[in-house]
């Protein structure tokens, strides 16, 4: 199947997603508008990004009909080790209502639990099923959930998550989880696809200086393979995720990079180069490392509602 920027996954999600983490509200307004004008039709947001007013203004000023855009956002579940209280079901429902006010939207296309960090995650999941019934979100899913946490939902007899957003790039390919999601028809969504780049989150306070030694050995393979394909390293990393069947979410604060990142949909990586990149896997998540946790390993025992 030839995948283009407007190709849709099983739940109607465009393969090309634009993320808004680490943008101020004003940057989010500018960048979301740029991304939509450049051709992105999927915007990824979150309660925890503290910029949804800006994202909402960017969506509005881009002037694209609402039904042509796919909007994802996430509830932060709480995390006791950071002194952030767990949300119960009622609070989860109120959270999306507040987010919709900030985004100036009537509904989102996909609502996710940001990570399995709360023992109340089954109660939160039930709340998401209610939100779907009420039409405030068209689809529901999870993020940073491993096989065990998805099975908790299925074993409780609750509706299956329609998507799981996870860190996915050549250093972290989680093939077991990817196979599991494929078998269960759960749409895989990749975040932090550019984490192997030397310039990833390079600005002060963005946390890209973590695990640099771990990332170094892959540098020459990534550089040489991109040169061989005559594409940028960024476009190649995005394309690698797409060819593994993932919708890929990338973020840039710079208009020229926002446009460049859409070039990932204009070429194909031959099988021999895919295999070379696949061999870089270390199952090493990087995106949350600066905050001191791996969200997939941090799940407390679940409380059964």
The reply on whether position 240 binds ligand NAP by CB under 6 A is: no
Q: From the list 73, 92, 137, 143, which residue makes contact with ligand NAP (rule: CB under 6 A)?
A: 143
Provide φ and ψ at 245, rounded to 5°: 95, 10
Considering Cα of 46, then 49, then 54, then 59, what sign does the dihedral take? negative
Q: Do 276 and 15 meet the contact criterion of CB atoms below 8 Å apart? A: no
The reply on whether position 241 binds ligand NAP by CB under 6 A is: no
- Count Cβ atoms below 10 Å from residue 140 Cβ, excluding itself: 23
Q: From the list 60, 243, 260, 294, which residue makes contact with ligand NAP (rule: CB under 6 A)?
A: 260
Nearer to ligand NAP, 144 or 187 (CB): 144
Token representation of residue 285 = 């998540």
Q: From the list 145, 191, 240, 246, which residue makes contact with ligand NAP (rule: CB under 6 A)?
A: 191
Least CB distance from residue 252 to ligand NAP, whole Å?
3
Residues 247 and 109: their CA atoms lie apart, in Å, by 15
Segment 52 to 71, residues that bind ligand NAP, using CB under 6 A: none
Q: Which of 21, 49, 79, 111 is catalytic?
A: 49
The reply on whether position 79 binds ligand NAP by CB under 6 A is: no
Least CB distance from residue 258 to ligand NAP, whole Å?
8
Strands (E), the chain: 16-19, 42-44, 70-75, 108-113, 137-143, 163-167, 187-191, 247-250
Q: Do 21 and 49 meet the contact criterion of CB atoms below 8 Å apart? A: yes
Token representation of residue 195 = 């984490």
- Count Cβ atoms below 10 Å from residue 68 Cβ, excluding itself: 10
Q: From the list 41, 121, 201, 215, which residue makes contact with ligand NAP (rule: CB under 6 A)?
A: 201
Question: Given the DSSP bridges, would you call strands 137-143 and 70-75 parallel, antiparallel or unpaired?
Answer: unpaired
**Cα distances (angstroms) measured from residue 236 to each of 25, 128, 211:** 29, 35, 21
Q: From the list 181, 194, 242, 277, which residue makes contact with ligand NAP (rule: CB under 6 A)?
A: 194
- Count Cβ atoms below 10 Å from residue 273 Cβ, excluding itself: 20
Q: From the list 118, 149, 187, 261, which residue makes contact with ligand NAP (rule: CB under 6 A)?
A: 261
Q: Which stretch binds ligand NAP (CB under 6 A): 98-106, 174-182, 220-228, 254-262?
A: 254-262
Q: Is 265 noted as a catalytic residue in this protein?
A: no
The reply on whether position 37 binds ligand NAP by CB under 6 A is: no
The reply on whether position 165 binds ligand NAP by CB under 6 A is: yes
Q: From the list 35, 172, 177, 195, which residue makes contact with ligand NAP (rule: CB under 6 A)?
A: 195
The reply on whether position 249 binds ligand NAP by CB under 6 A is: yes
**SS3 of 192, please?**
coil
Query: Which positions are annotated as active-site residues?
Result: 49
Residues that bind ligand NAP (CB under 6 A): 19-21, 44, 114, 143-144, 165, 191-195, 197, 199-202, 232, 234, 249-254, 257, 260-261, 287
């Amino acid at each position: 199947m030839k995948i283009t920027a407007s190709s849709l996954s099983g739940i109607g999600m465009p393969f090309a997603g634009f993320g808004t983490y680490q943008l101020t509200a004003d940057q989010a307004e500018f960048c979301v508008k740029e991304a939509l004008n450049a051709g992105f039709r999927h915007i990824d947001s979150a309660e925890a990004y503290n910029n949804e007013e800006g994202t909402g203004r960017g969506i509005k000023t881009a002037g694209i009909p609402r039904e042509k855009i796919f909007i994802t956002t996430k509830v932060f579940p709480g995390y006791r080790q950071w002194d952030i209280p767990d949300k119960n079901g009622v609070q989860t429902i109120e959270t999306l209502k507040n987010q919709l006010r900030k985004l100036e939207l009537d509904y989102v296309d996909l609502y996710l639990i940001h990570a399995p960090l709360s023992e109340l995650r089954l109660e939160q999941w039930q709340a998401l099923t209610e939100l779907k019934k009420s039409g405030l979100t068209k689809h529901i899913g999870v993020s940073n959930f491993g096989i065990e946490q998805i099975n908790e939902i299925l074993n409780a007899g609750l509706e299956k998550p329609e998507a799981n957003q996870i860190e996915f790039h050549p250093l972290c390919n989680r093939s077991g989880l990817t196979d599991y999601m494929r078998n269960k028809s759960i749409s895989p969504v990749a975040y932090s696809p550019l984490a192997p780049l030397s310039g990833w989150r390079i600005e002060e306070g963005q946390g890209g200086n973590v695990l640099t030694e771990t990332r170094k050995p892959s540098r020459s393979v990534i550089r040489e393979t991109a040169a061989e394909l005559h594409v940028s390293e960024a476009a190649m990393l995005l394309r690698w995720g797409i060819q593994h069947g993932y919708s890929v979410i990338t973020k840039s604060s710079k208009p020229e990079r926002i446009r460049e990142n859409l070039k990932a949909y204009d070429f194909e990586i031959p099988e021999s180069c895919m295999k070379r990149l696949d061999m870089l896997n270390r199952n090493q998540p990087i995106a949350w490392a600066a905050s001191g946790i791996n969200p997939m390993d941090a799940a407390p025992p679940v409380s059964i509602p």
